[in-house]
Amino acid sequence: MDQLHLMTVFVAVAELQGFAAASRKLHMSPPAVTRAITALEENIGVKLLARTTRHVKTTEAGQRYLQDAKRILQEVVQANEAAQGIHGEPKGVLRVTAPVLFGQQQVLPVVLEYLKQFPMTQVETVFVDRVVNLLEEGFDVGIRIGHLPDSSLYARYVGQVSLILVASADYLKQHGTPSSPHALSQHAIVATSSGDLAHDWHFEKESVGSSVRIHPRLSVNTNQAAINAAKQGMGISRVLSYQVGDELKNGQLQTLLTGFQLPPLPVHIVHREGLNASAKVRSFIDLLVDKIKKHSLMEQPID
């Protein structure tokens, strides 16, 4: 049997943890799926799947093979797209990842427009507040907020955001406005465990840094929950500026201690393909850049 076909069947069985589920996904009969896995294991001489009456799991060797097989299959897709020419019609599956609120506010509207413009595409999005490894996890495009480490990824700068303190007018009317970071100890704090915004809060004034250990009255695990609590007058929270653009404009929240803000954080669109990016990747990035340029609430967007 064709090696790529066997890899495709193996990936489906491993990820779905079942032969029946894989057969439905691949539109193959269950016996054909079983034969493919048997042939693959015989070809390479290694047991890849551990089977029980109820479950199918990868062996240690199978787990390593799964990662390699996914990478190889993705590279085949990219090679086919490159051969079709960078000016070809965008088509195929595009996988995109971004921080949760950035994804909801900025990326999802672009995804919907992209799908309308290019009917031969499908998009899978994963919005999580952690750094996703595009290569290992099989994503085409990602958003990075913060300084980029050296890597093999290609990056396109699109603007910057700041960490800011916010509170509602009602809260400040009742409890006063802190005049320095150390005065935060006299206030109710709403903290989020999402990303890097928890534990110590760092500040800077005239290039001199300082840190304050916070003791939250309320701790939540999403930025949106912290924003909602701050709007309800629960206390002072720290968020990224783009996350509360609307709330600042309509007066639901106010910024505090602006003279102590850290330097802004750059925002990049990252991808793996460089100047020879496939049509589906280039088209999506162009749409996203245009969206940010025209409608973004970020500071200093691209020209």
| Contact status, residue 185 vs residue 243, Cβ threshold 8 Å | no
In the DSSP assignment, the letter for residue 183 is: G
In this structure, the strands spanning 154-161 and 265-271 are antiparallel
CATH code that applies to domain 3-83: 1.10.10.10
At the second CATH level, the architecture of 87-142+272-295 is 3-Layer(aba) Sandwich (3.40)
Q: 57-92 pLDDT, tens per residue?
A: 899 999 999 988 888 887 787 677 666 655 578 888
Q: How confident is the model at residue 261 (pLDDT cuts 50, 70, 90)?
A: very high
Is the sign of the CA dihedral 189, 191, 197, 200 positive or negative? positive
**Mean pLDDT lowest among 43-57, 137-151, 156-170, 289-303:** 289-303
One-letter identity of residue 186: Q
What pTM value is reported for the model? 0.67
Q: How confident is the model at residue 102 (pLDDT cuts 50, 70, 90)?
A: very high
CATH code that applies to domain 163-260: 3.40.190.290
Find tokens 């250990």 and name the residue: 213
Q: How confident is the model at residue 144 (pLDDT cuts 50, 70, 90)?
A: very high
| Contact status, residue 285 vs residue 141, Cβ threshold 8 Å | yes
**231-263 burial, b for 16+ CB within 10 Å, e for fewer?**
bebbbbbbbbbbbbeebeeeebbbebbeebbee
Average predicted confidence (pLDDT) for the chain: 87
- What kind and span of H or E run contains 282? helix 279-295
Q: 232-259 pLDDT, tens per residue?
A: 999 999 999 999 988 999 999 999 999 9
Q: Do domains 87-142+272-295 and 163-260 have the same CATH topology?
A: yes
